[in-house]
Amino acid sequence: MTLSWETVDELARRNDRSALIRLLAAATPAERAAAAPVVEAGVTALPADPGMDARTVYALAVVGTAPSAARAVTLLRRPALRAWNWEESALFLALADALDLPWTGDLGARLAARLPARDPWPDDWFFAAALMRAGGVTPPVTEGVVRSWVRSFVRRWKPEGPIPPLVARLRDDPWRDTLLPAVFEIDTIGADLGGVASAGATPAFPAAVAALDREGTLERKTVLSATVDRLLRGGRPNNLRPFILLHDELAPTVDESSTHALDYARLLAAGPGAVATLAQRCLRAVDGAGRLERETLLEASAETLVRREKTLVKAQLSWLAAVARREPARSGDVVVAIAGAFGHAALDVQERALDLVAKHRDRVTPAELERIAAAAAGLGGDLPARAASLFAAAPDPVSAGAAPGSVTAGPGLGALPPGSGVSLVVAPAVAEMPPPIADAAELAEELAALVHVQTGVGWERVLAALVAFHTAGAGEDLAATLLPVTDRYPRWFAPSRWNAGSPFVALGLAIRAATATAGRSDAVVSAGRGGNDPVRQELAAAVRVAWQEGRRGHPHSSLSPRPDGVLALRVAEVAAHLAGSMVPAIVATPTHVNGSLDAGVLLQRLQRAEAEGWQPWPFDFEQALLRVPRVADDLVAVRAARLTTPAGRQFAQWLASGGLPDPISAPVTQPGERGRDGGWTWDVPVPRRVVATLRPARDGGLRLERQLLTLTPVEHPVHTPGDFQGTEDVLAMVFPHHREVAAAWALAEVAALADQNQRDTARNLFPLLAECTGPVGPAMAYALAYALAAKHESDRAAAVDTLLTLAAAEAPFAAPVGAALADLGSDGTITLTRVLPALADLHRAGASVAVWELLVAALPPLLTTTARTVPDLLELASQVAVTLGVRGDLVPGLAGVAARAGSTRVTKEAKRLQSILNP
C-alpha cells in the first residue's frame, strides 16, 4: 500500500485510522515529505462535508505528512476539516510518537492561539492543551486560551473519574502563573468564573484563589491589587460578581485597605452598586482607624449622595453624621457635604439629609450655611418650605408649592398650568416615504435587502416598482437583475412546507410572471412556472376565496388571517393577476413611512385609473382606503365625488363617512394553567396576562373588515408569543389611523416583555404606533403599561418616547394607562419598580400633567394593596404636584392612608402628598 492520495482517501472513506497510522509509520521521512503536497492538494479539493469520521483520517494524514506545525495548522483549519479533532487527542499523540514529530507542542500552541475570544469550543481547547502538555510548551496568553483554561477548571466537560477539588487542580496546574494574571485583565471573563464545581450557588473559583493566597501559593499583595484594579474597570454585574466575592474572601485588613483608599473612594463614587457597597465598607473601616483623609471622604461623598441606590446613600449619610458627631469642632464641611443629598431624586433621602443638617445647624459658619441654603434649591415636595424656615429665608412660591396660579380643577388636566415652567417638545412630523425605485438594478438591491431585513417600507417600494416596471415593458431588465436574486435565495422564494403563506413565495411568482421565464429549468423557476402550477393555483384560489367570502386562513389556505397577512394577500393578488389584468400601478403605496396615504394622492391615482380605463386590484384598493386619514381636505372630497368608476364612487363614500369606524375593544384576562403538580405549565408559564378582544363596530364595509377587526384571544397565555416578531412595522402600516387595532393584535407579545422578560417588541413597534393616529383604547393602554414594566430598558424607553409623543399631541391616554398599571401592579402581574424610572423620566421631560393624571388613576386602587412601590409612587406624585401647583382632594383614598397611625413609609409619603394638596 503506497502513501498516495487515493490510498488516504480510501482509508478515510472506510474510517480505517489504524491502517493509516501504520502506513505513515512505515513510510520513510522522504516518502512522507513527498506525499505532503499530494495530501495538501487532496484536502484542498475535498467537498465541504466529507463526513465526521473521514475528517479525522484526513487530519491524521495532514499531521503525518506536513513539514511543519505552521503548514499543518493551515490545512487543518480548512472548512472541509472542521471539527476534525472531535476524537480524543490520544490518537494524534500516538501518531506523533510513532513518527517522532518534533513540533507536537508547537502544533498545540498554534491551534490554541486560534481559539476564538468568544465562546471557544471545549474540544478545541482540550485537544490543543494535550498537545502542548506532551510537547512541554507553554500556551500563548490570548483571550481564547484564558477563557478556555478557566472553563476547563470551572466546568469539566469530559470528567474522567473523580474530580479533585478546584483548589487542588489550580494548585497543581503548570500554567497557573502564566494564565491566572490574565484572568484579572480580560474584562468579559468574569461570567466564566461564575460556574461552579458542585451544585452550589456560589462560584468556586474565587474561594479557590483565596485559599491559594492564604497558603502562600499566590502572592497576596498581587492578588488584592489585581482584584481592586479589575473592580475599578467596571463592567456587567455577572462579570464583576466573582471578583467581588474574591475581595470578600481575601478580607483586606485595615492596613491593606488604607493602601487602596483612593481606589475605594473612586469605587464608592462611581462603581456599580455592589462594588460601591464593598468600597464603602472598607473606607469606613479605614476611617474608624483614623487613617482616612477628610478630603477623600468629602470628595467621594459628593458623588455618592446623588446615586440611585438609596440604601447606599442613606448609609453614607449615617457615616457622615457619625463623623460630625465625632469631631464637632470640625464638622462644618461635613454638614455641607450632607447637604449634597438635597440633589437626590428621592424625597425621603432629601428629608433625611435635611433632618441631619437641621440637627447640626449650630455647628456651621454663616458662609457654610449660605452654601447649604443654595443647595436647598434642589429640594422637592414639601421640603423647600421647611428648608426656608430653617435658613430664615422666604420660600420660593413655586418650589414651595404655593404658586398663585395653582390648578384646582379635577385630575383631568387639559393643559399645563400658567407659570409651571413645564414644556413639551413638539412631536416631529411623520417622515415621507423614500422616492420610488428608479431602475431594475436598484430594485434588485432592495429585493436582496428585503431578504435580510423585512420592513414595511421596503415591501411597499419593491411591490410598487415591480408592477410599474412590468407595465413599462422592462421584462428583460427585470429578468437580468431580479432572477439572480431569487436564485441566490431559493429558501425564500421557492415554495416549501416551511414557508407556506410567506409573501416571499408570492413575490417570487410575481417576479417570474413579470420576467416571462417559462423556459427556465432551475428549481426556483420551475416551482412557479406556468398557469397550471399548483402553487400559483393555490394562491389564486386563496385570493378568490378572500374576495368572495371575506376571509383568509381558511382550512385550505396558507395565508395568515392576522393583519400582517394583508401584505401576503396583496402580493398573492399581484402574482395571480399580474400577467392577466392590465393594472399599471399599485394604488395603496403609502405617502408616509407609518403607512398613511394622503387622500389627495389616492385621488390622483384613481383619476388616472378612470382616465386610462382600469380598475385597481380589489385588496390593493381596500388597503389604500384603510391608509387614508379620517379627515380629508374638503376640496379632495368634492373632487372625489366627481369620480364615476366603482372604485372612485367607493372612495368618495369612504371620505364622506369618515372612513373605518373605531372597532370595539375590551380587556380580557388569560389565567395561567396549572399542571398536575400545582405549578404553572411550561407552555403557560405566567399566572395572569391581560390581552384584548376586538369586534367591528358595524356590519358590512370592506371585504376583510370583519376578519381584521375580530380578535378572540385563546384561553390561556401563550408561551413567548412571536406572531409579529420582525414584522412589527408591517402590522402597524395596515392600520396607520387605528393604532388600537395594531396594539390589540400585538398585545400578547408586548405583555411578554414584562411577564416573560422578552425583548425588542416595544422597541420595534411603539415608535410606529406613536406616529399613527386614533384613540388610545384598552389595548393600547395595557400595551403601554406592560411596556413601561418591560425587563429591558430599550423597550421601556420606547414606551416613554411614545407617551411623550401622545402628550405632545394632547391625546387622552394618561387615565387609561394609569388604570392599567394599577390593575397589573396590584397583584404583581408586572413589576412596578421598573415603571418608576420611566414615569420620572416623563416628568423630567415635561409631561408632568400626563404623569399626574396617570398617578391619580393608578394610586387609589394601589393604596388598598401592599405593593412595595406605592411609597415611591406617592413620592413621585408629591414632586409632580409641587411642579404643577395642584390643590384639592384629587386622590381618592389618600386622606385615609395619611390619617393612619404609625411611621411606615407609605403613611409618611401619604401625609406628605396630602399636605401638598391641602396645605
User: What integer pLDDT is reported at residue 78 of this predicted model?
Assistant: 82
Question: What distance in Å separates the CA atoms of residue 283 and residue 772, rounded to the nearest whole number?
Answer: 54
Question: Please, which pLDDT band fits residue 529 given cuts at 50, 70 and 90?
Answer: very low
Asked if residue 664 lies in contact with residue 710, where contact means CB atoms within 8 angstroms, the answer is no
User: What integer pLDDT is reported at residue 862 of this predicted model?
Assistant: 96
Cα 89 from chain centroid (whole Å): 41
Computed on alpha carbons and rounded to an integer, the radius of gyration of the chain in Å comes to 36
CA distances from 64 to 44, 97, 126, 136, 697 (A): 16, 11, 20, 20, 79
Question: What distance in Å separates the CA atoms of residue 672 and residue 718, rounded to the nearest whole number?
Answer: 9
Domain ranges of the chain: 1-140, 440-656, 664-917
Question: What distance in Å separates the CA atoms of residue 704 and residue 483, rounded to the nearest whole number?
Answer: 33
Q: Is the pLDDT of residue 383 over 60?
A: yes
All three cell numbers of 335: 454638614
Question: What distance in Å separates the CA atoms of residue 93 and residue 89, rounded to the nearest whole number?
Answer: 6
Query: 49-53, 308-312, 772-776: lowest mean pLDDT where?
Result: 49-53
Torsion region of 623: left, alpha or beta (phi above 0 gives left; psi -120 to 50 gives alpha): alpha
Question: Please, which pLDDT band fits residue 197 given cuts at 50, 70 and 90?
Answer: very low
Q: Which amino acid is residue 737, in one-letter code?
A: H
Question: What distance in Å separates the CA atoms of residue 403 and residue 74, rounded to the nearest whole number?
Answer: 78
Task: Write a three-state SS string for 293-314.
Answer: CHHHHHHHHHHHCCCCCHHHHH
pLDDT in tens, 430-461: 899 999 999 999 999 999 999 999 899 999 99
Task: Write a three-state SS string for 208-220.
Answer: HHHHHHHCCCCCH
- Coil, strand or helix at 432: strand
Residue linked to cell 411623550? 804
Question: What distance in Å separates the CA atoms of residue 149 and residue 111, rounded to the nearest whole number?
Answer: 14
pLDDT in tens, 272-281: 999 999 999 9
User: What integer pLDDT is reported at residue 592 of this predicted model?
Assistant: 96
All three cell numbers of 332: 462644618
For residue 875, what is the DSSP state? H
**637-657 core/surface letters (b: 16 or more CB in 10 A; e: else):** bebbeebebebbebbbebbee
Name the β-bridge partners of 321. Answer: none
Q: Is the pLDDT of residue 843 over 70?
A: yes
N-to-C CA span, the chain: 104
Residue linked to cell 490520544? 90
Q: In 3D, which of 313, 222, 401 has the Cα closest to residue 884?
A: 401
CA atoms within 13 A on the CB side of 387: 30
| Rounded mean pLDDT, 96-114 | 92
User: What integer pLDDT is reported at residue 594 of this predicted model?
Assistant: 94
Question: What distance in Å separates the CA atoms of residue 227 and residue 244, rounded to the nearest whole number?
Answer: 8
pLDDT in tens, 640-687: 999 999 999 999 999 999 999 999 999 999 998 776 555 555 555 688
Question: What distance in Å separates the CA atoms of residue 122 and residue 129, rounded to the nearest whole number?
Answer: 11
User: What integer pLDDT is reported at residue 426 of this predicted model?
Assistant: 61
Instruction: Tell whether the torsion through CA atoms of 911, 912, 918 and 919 is positive or negative.
Output: positive
Question: What distance in Å separates the CA atoms of residue 64 and residue 56, rounded to the nearest whole number?
Answer: 12
Question: What distance in Å separates the CA atoms of residue 731 and residue 869, rounded to the nearest whole number?
Answer: 35
Question: What distance in Å separates the CA atoms of residue 745 and residue 692, rounded to the nearest whole number?
Answer: 8
User: What integer pLDDT is reported at residue 681 of this predicted model?
Assistant: 59
Q: Is the pLDDT of residue 723 over 70?
A: yes
pLDDT in tens, 561-577: 888 889 989 999 998 88
Question: What distance in Å separates the CA atoms of residue 488 and residue 498, rounded to the nearest whole number?
Answer: 18
| Rounded mean pLDDT, 374-378 | 89
Q: Is the pLDDT of residue 232 over 80?
A: yes
| Helix (H) / strand (E) containing 534 | helix 534-549
Question: Please, which pLDDT band fits residue 768 given cuts at 50, 70 and 90?
Answer: very high
- Coil, strand or helix at 174: coil
pLDDT in tens, 385-432: 888 888 764 344 334 343 333 443 344 443 334 334 344 556 668 899
Name the β-bridge partners of 693. Answer: 666
Instruction: Tell whether the torsion through CA atoms of 216, 218, 220 and 221 is positive or negative.
Output: positive
Question: Please, which pLDDT band fits residue 517 given cuts at 50, 70 and 90?
Answer: very low
Asked if residue 204 lies in contact with residue 248, where contact means CB atoms within 8 angstroms, the answer is no
Query: 19-23, 241-245, 406-410, 764-768: lowest mean pLDDT where?
Result: 406-410
Asked if residue 489 lies in contact with residue 553, where contact means CB atoms within 8 angstroms, the answer is no
All three cell numbers of 792: 429591558
Question: Please, which pLDDT band fits residue 86 given cuts at 50, 70 and 90?
Answer: low
Question: What distance in Å separates the CA atoms of residue 60 and residue 769, rounded to the nearest whole number?
Answer: 60
Q: In 3D, which of 569, 599, 576, 577 has the Cα closest to residue 587?
A: 599
| Helix (H) / strand (E) containing 667 | strand 664-671
Cα 231 from chain centroid (whole Å): 26
Highest-confidence segment of 85-89, 229-233, 865-869: 229-233
Q: Is the pLDDT of residue 90 over 90?
A: no
Cα 56 from chain centroid (whole Å): 41
Question: What distance in Å separates the CA atoms of residue 456 and residue 732, rounded to the nearest whole number?
Answer: 9
- Coil, strand or helix at 46: coil
Residues 6+ apart with CB under 8 A from 293: 261
Question: What distance in Å separates the CA atoms of residue 910 and residue 29, rounded to the nearest whole number?
Answer: 90
pTM of the predicted protein model: 0.76
- Coil, strand or helix at 511: helix
Asked if residue 465 lies in contact with residue 443, where contact means CB atoms within 8 angstroms, the answer is yes
121 burial class (0-12, 13-18, 19+ CB within 10 angstroms)?
A: middle
Question: Please, which pLDDT band fits residue 221 given cuts at 50, 70 and 90?
Answer: very high
Question: What distance in Å separates the CA atoms of residue 866 and residue 450, rounded to the nearest whole number?
Answer: 50
Highest-confidence segment of 63-67, 395-399, 820-824: 820-824
Question: What distance in Å separates the CA atoms of residue 5 and residue 640, rounded to the nearest whole number?
Answer: 79
Question: What distance in Å separates the CA atoms of residue 103 and residue 96, rounded to the nearest whole number?
Answer: 9
Question: What distance in Å separates the CA atoms of residue 781 and residue 778, rounded to the nearest whole number?
Answer: 5
Residues 6+ apart with CB under 8 A from 808: 424, 425, 426, 427
Mean pLDDT of the chain: 87
Q: What percentage of residues in the chain have a pLDDT greater than 70?
A: 89
Q: Is the pLDDT of residue 365 over 60?
A: yes
CA distances from 818 to 670, 761, 823, 854, 876 (A): 20, 21, 9, 4, 14
Asked if residue 499 lies in contact with residue 515, where contact means CB atoms within 8 angstroms, the answer is no
| Rounded mean pLDDT, 256-260 | 96
Q: In 3D, which of 716, 714, 774, 788 has the Cα closest to residue 743?
A: 774
User: What integer pLDDT is reported at residue 540 of this predicted model?
Assistant: 79
Residues 6+ apart with CB under 8 A from 559: 501, 542, 546, 552, 553, 565, 568, 569, 572
